[in-house]
Amino acid sequence: MNVTNICCIGAGYVGGPTMAVIALKCPNIKVTVVDINKQRIAAWNHADLDQLPIYEPGLKEVVAQARGRNLFFSTDVEKAIEESQMIFMAVNTPTKTYGEGKGFAADLTFVEKCARQIAEVATSDKIVIEKSTLPVRTAEKIKEVLSSNTKEVHFEVLSNPEFLAEGTAIQDLFKSDRVLIGGDDTKTGNAAVAALVSIYLNWIPKEKILTTNVWSSELSKLASNAMLAQRISSINSLSALCEETGANIEEVSKAIGMDSRIGPKFLKASVGFGGSCFQKDILNLVYLCKHFGLDEVAEYWHQVVKINDYQKTRFAKKIISGLNGTVNQKKITLLGWAFKKNTNDSRESAAIYVADFLLVEGAELHVFDPIVKEARIHQDLTFLWEARNESKQEIESKLKRCIVHKEHIQALESSFAAAILTEWDEFKSYDWNAIAEKMIQSAKVYDGRNVLKSNKNINQYYIGK
């Protein structure tokens, strides 16, 4: 099959960068990215590349080369479906907030809507690709929805999960560790897999493209995220023990990671992992295990999320205990809001939960992040409190105590304590001696990312040291 026309439903953190890279590497394929969110599409089409909806190093250079050539962003979902031979689904799959599986299962509403729309619109054969992270056996449900098509169109469903990490998405897409493609072992299934493989072969070496059955592919994505998050919770759990015993988590991480069977990556202790996926995907795994009656397995993975919650709370409590047991009416500075550096994404960021804890204790928060804007920070907190059914009045009164600054120095002036919640490089280059002068005497700096050098003029707390 000669693929010349593809589309992607969902122009988010996955759909946008992934399709931009496919368009760059495959100039003969027309790539259309569609979304129901008009604002997002307008931002993808903005003449000023600094206005793209996603901040990701290297992204604007890729978009600059491909946009208007063979990369297009549009809100016309139906047209894109009709014209494409391959349709990627990269819509959001958040944790369910209602009904059965609430708080654990993935909400498949958006995926199902996509499948239904494809079934309604398609008048020619299509390869439908699961790019979103989905529970194992979702392809079965998608096939069922697609079968409602009445025009005798053949649909082939593939799983092609995405492994990029935000902040390094473009490099991850250029040099993927692996590309995973799951398909049915049938004549049409194998042909569809071959067609997708031929796209990736434009820049990914053949030996890095792994083909499996659909269920293995779906489950491998959840399992990969669970294993990565498990390493962080493991090291974070040990950071608490280090603080009690005089061991140093950086030294322990290094010693552990030098074992080639373990390896050094993902052993950096922190205030806790964030991001839109780790927690959601593990909770989904927990739900699946419970569904199949595997309670012990479910409990094992649930613990990874519980330790992460523990770490965020432990950090907030350290700040309070370091300030004589109360932060009420005290100015506290939060440096960093994004869930990691080099992204404008703050979904499930540890900062949200640390901020919440301190606000409940009466703190006056002053926040600075180099990229995340005030509106987003307030939105993150509002979503959390609305989900807890807090009153409008309560929410407004707490938001008034969460002031967002454009300059770090204003956020730090006369502060009782500063907490580093994202490992932005610029925090390391600040003049911390000058900052110590500006903060109140004997102010403390709580380094939730272990990024600052030790400085005898500052009272410092590090994770796990």
Binding site for ligand UGA (CB under 6 A): 133, 162-166, 225, 228, 232, 266-268, 270, 273-275, 277-278, 339-340
The residue written with tokens 């949200």 in the block is: 352
List helix spans (H) across 164-294.
169-174, 187-200, 214-245, 249-257, 278-291
Of 159-167, 180-188, 227-235, 400-408, the segment contacting ligand NAD by CB under 6 A is 159-167
Tell me the C-alpha distance between 338 and 424, whole Å.
Answer: 9
Q: Which does 310 bind (CB under 5 to 8 A by kind): ligand UGA, ligand NAD, none?
A: none
CB atoms < 10 A from the CB of 375, how many? 9
Footprint on residues 93-112 left by ligand NAD (CB under 6 A): 93, 110
Q: Figure out which of the listed residues 107, 156, 162, 172 binds ligand NAD, where binding follows CB under 6 A.
A: 162
If the CB atoms of residues 133 and 308 are measured against ligand NAD, the closer one turns out to be 133
Nearer to ligand NAD, 55 or 432 (CB): 55
Radius of gyration of the chain (CA): 24
Using the rule CB under 6 A, which residue among 6, 7, 8, 10 binds ligand NAD? 10
CA-wise closest residue to 372 among 333, 418, 404, 331: 404
* Among ligand NAD, ligand UGA, none, residue 67 binds (CB under 5-8 Å by kind): none
Number of H helices, E strands in the chain: 18, 14
Q: What's the min distance (Å) between Cβ of 413 and ligand UGA?
A: 27
**Residue where the block lists tokens 């016309």:** 76
Instruction: Give the shortest CB-349-to-ligand UGA separation in angstroms.
Output: 7
Question: Residue 273 binds which one of ligand NAD, ligand UGA, none, with CB within 5 to 8 A depending on kind?
Answer: ligand UGA
Annotated catalytic residue: which of 7, 8, 277, 289?
277
Q: Is 114 a catalytic residue?
A: no
Q: Which is nearer to ligand NAD, 67 or 465 (CB)?
A: 67
Least Å from the CB of residue 126 to ligand NAD? 15
- Which among 108, 93, 170 has a CA at the least distance from the CA of 140? 108
- Cα gap 131→160, rounded to integer Å: 5
CB nearer ligand NAD, residue 228 or residue 271 = 228
Q: Which is nearer to ligand NAD, 55 or 446 (CB)?
A: 55
Q: What CA–CA distances, in Å, run from 344 to 133, 228, 369, 373, 411?
A: 21, 22, 9, 9, 19
Chain centroid offset of residue 369 CA: 17
- By the rule CB under 6 A, 166 interacts with ligand NAD: yes
Which of ligand UGA, ligand NAD, none binds 92 (CB below 5-8 Å, type-dependent)? ligand NAD
- CB 12 to ligand NAD: min, Å: 2
Residue number, 126 or 221, with CB nearest to ligand UGA: 221
Specify the 3-state DSSP secondary structure of 338.
coil
In eight-state DSSP terms, residue 67 is B
Stretch touching ligand NAD by CB under 6 A, among 12-20, 237-245, 417-425, 447-455: 12-20
Chain centroid to CA 331:
30
First to last CA, the chain: 58
Total residues interacting with ligand NAD, rule: CB under 6 A: 27
Tell me the HSE value of 243 on the side-chain side, using a 13 A CA sphere.
15
What's the closest the beta carbon of residue 128 comes to ligand NAD, in angstroms? 13
CB of 247 to ligand NAD, least distance (A): 33
d(CA 390, CA 136): 35
Tell me: does residue 114 bind ligand NAD (CB under 6 A).
Answer: yes
Please state, in angstroms and rounded to a whole number, the distance separating the CA atoms of residues 18 and 62: 11
Q: What three-state secondary structure class fits 158?
A: strand
- Report the C-alpha gap between 395 and 385 in whole angstroms: 7
Least separation in angstroms between residue 56's CB and ligand NAD is: 10
Q: Which does 113 bind (CB under 5 to 8 A by kind): ligand NAD, ligand UGA, none?
A: ligand NAD
Burial 204-222 (b: 16+ CB within 10 A, else e): beeeebebbebeebbbbbb
Q: CB of 93 within 8 A of CB of 12?
A: no
Alpha carbon of 301 to those of 133, 283, 350: distances in Å? Answer: 17, 8, 19
- Which of ligand NAD, ligand UGA, none has residue 228 at its interface (CB below 5 to 8 Å by kind)? ligand UGA
Say how many CA atoms lie within 13 Å of 44 toward its Cβ.
Answer: 28
Q: Does 276 bind ligand NAD (CB under 6 A)?
A: yes
From 9, 86, 145, 289, residue interacting with ligand NAD (rule: CB under 6 A): 9
As measured in angstroms, the least distance from the Cβ of 304 to ligand NAD is 17
37 belongs to the binding site for ligand NAD (CB under 6 A): yes
> Could you list the residues that contact ligand NAD (CB under 6 A)?
9-15, 34-37, 40, 77, 90-93, 110, 113-114, 132-133, 162, 164, 166, 276-277
Active site amino acids: 277
